[in-house]
Amino acid sequence: MSVLVSISIITLMSMISIPYLGRYQTSLKLNGVSRNLTSDIRYAQQLTITEQVAYKVQLDAITHKYEVIRTGIATSTIKSVYFPAEVRFSEISAAMDNEVIFNSFGGVYQSGQIVLINTDGKLATINVKPSGYIQLTQ
């Protein structure tokens, strides 16, 4: 009898918590994507400074992905990342032609914001300053 009561309590608890876990998972995906994008923007900046070759992060709002690209005589893609289905771009105002391009001092050619949104409407904002300072706010 006590085993049956224990099983029913566990079943009831899991049925109550499953919807909350689903919402929490979409927030985790937004946090992960925004942190990875911020890190990759900083990575492109660091590569530009150390190699003295322009790197850029190209943002694609249609396919919900971004690429880290080495420019110059031979353009090559260093990294390509697709977003999970729950995360997409909401606004891109930090880039000319949806590209964050760094100069040899680590500054960007155009400052602004990159805003990501998940299916629950939660936002993550990446601020790109003219000096090259990259800040993530969630």
Own/partner pairs, 67-73, CB within 8 angstroms, 24+ separation:
68/40, 68/43, 68/44, 71/101
DSSP 102: B
Which CATH number applies to 2-137? 3.55.40.10
Average pLDDT along the chain: 87
Alpha carbons 39 and 34: distance in angstroms, whole number: 9
Is the pLDDT at 132 greater than 70? The verdict is: yes
Domain positions in the chain: 2-137
pTM for this structure? 0.82
